[in-house]
Amino acid sequence: MHYPMVRKGAKLFLPSVFVTEHLRVHFGKAVELKGKALTIDKPRDNSVMTIVLDPGHGGKDPGAVGRKLKANEKDVNLAVTLLLKQLLEKELGLKVLLTRSDDRFVSLQDRTRFANDKKADLFISLHTNASKNTASKGLETYYLATAQSSDARAVEALENQVVELFEGGSSAKSKYDDLSFILSDLSQAEHLEGSNMLATSVQQNMVAGTKSMDRGVKQANFYVLRGAFMPSILIEMGFISNPEEEQLLVNPEYQERLARTIFEGPKRFKYRYDRIRNT
Ligand SMILES: [Zn+2]
């Protein structure tokens, strides 16, 4: 501070810049100096109560299709989502809402709109990966940002294809591309830290619990994560294009294990954020 604190008897006086410059940085507009009176807003409840789970693809959009068993990504996503929902409800008492609970098509925009309308505290999108190279394997967890590595860009292109294939072609794509990106970029910026923490926790637990290859936590620019006003992640639970991983992904026991390990992510997130705090 540019001015010293002043002691008068038992009272300690702080310079007003402490409030206007220092407290403001950490507490925002919650702290205000009116004349000589300092007012502090009631803290906001940041606890995690509602989660939206988003099983990727559905209906006319099968997602990626396996080579050996011809398994559809949409079915794997839904199966793991339903198991994860049970865990979150039973063990954490959370309100869990699904963007789809059966085999139907839901546009990417409607998925995040749903999460915003329901005032969800977290948004988790579940997918399986695919590659032309059938040897590609392993787990990845993404949170929204501009894609950084060429691998991340390939996955981004794969998951964003749904817009071009099923939602009205290039005009639909440009609709997602300009305005919505600017808006969602702003909305996600304040949740980057939370999204990163949630992604890291999910990824670590999945890798430890399944022994699958760790491809890391990555940033990419998924339409489905854009416009979500809450910490949001997208999980690639393995490569359906890899015959060995396809076999695992359709196995109910392996699906259970995936759900159990993904569950640890939001569980830890909830423990960390379930407290009243100022923002
Ligand atoms: Zn997908």
- Local confidence band at 149 (pLDDT 50, 70, 90 cut-offs): low
99 CA to centre of ligand 1 in angstroms: 14
- Cβ neighbors of 157 (< 8 A, separation 6 or more) are none
76 CA to centre of ligand 1 in angstroms: 10
Residue 264, pLDDT > 50, answer yes
242 CA to centre of ligand 1 in angstroms: 15
236 CA to centre of ligand 1 in angstroms: 8
Residue 279, pLDDT > 50, answer no
Residue 109, pLDDT > 70, answer yes
189 CA to centre of ligand 1 in angstroms: 24
For residues 194-207, average pLDDT: 94
237 CA to centre of ligand 1 in angstroms: 10
**Which of 63-77, 94-108, 186-200, 235-249 comes out lowest in average pLDDT?**
186-200
- For the chain, the domains span 6-41, 45-277
How far apart (Å, rounded) are the C-alpha atoms in residues 239 and 139? 8
Pairing of strands 11-13, 6-8: antiparallel
92 CA to centre of ligand 1 in angstroms: 27
Residue 73, pLDDT > 50, answer yes
pLDDT for the residue 62: 96
Q: Which two tokens stand for residue 20?
A: 């206007």
Q: What is the pLDDT of residues 3-20, one digit of tens each?
A: 888 888 888 888 877 777
19 CA to centre of ligand 1 in angstroms: 48
How far apart (Å, rounded) are the C-alpha atoms in residues 80 and 126? 8
155 CA to centre of ligand 1 in angstroms: 9
Highest mean pLDDT among 72-76, 144-148, 166-170, 187-191: 72-76
pLDDT for the residue 69: 97
Higher-confidence residue of 95 and 29: namely 95
Q: Contact 52/99 with Cβ under 8 angstroms?
A: yes
**Across the chain, what does the average pLDDT equal?**
84
Residue 72, pLDDT > 90, answer yes
- Local confidence band at 243 (pLDDT 50, 70, 90 cut-offs): very high
Q: Under CATH, which number does the domain 45-277 receive? A: 3.40.630.40
129 CA to centre of ligand 1 in angstroms: 6
Residue 71, pLDDT > 70, answer yes
57 CA to centre of ligand 1 in angstroms: 6
118 CA to centre of ligand 1 in angstroms: 23
pTM for this entry: 0.76
Neighbours of ion ligand 1 (CB under 5 A): 56, 63, 127, 159
| Residues of the chain above pLDDT 70, percent | 80
pLDDT for the residue 278: 42
Q: What is the pLDDT of residues 219-230, one digit of tens each?
A: 877 776 776 778
How far apart (Å, rounded) are the C-alpha atoms in residues 188 and 229? 6
47 CA to centre of ligand 1 in angstroms: 29
35 CA to centre of ligand 1 in angstroms: 56
pLDDT for the residue 178: 47
pLDDT for the residue 170: 56
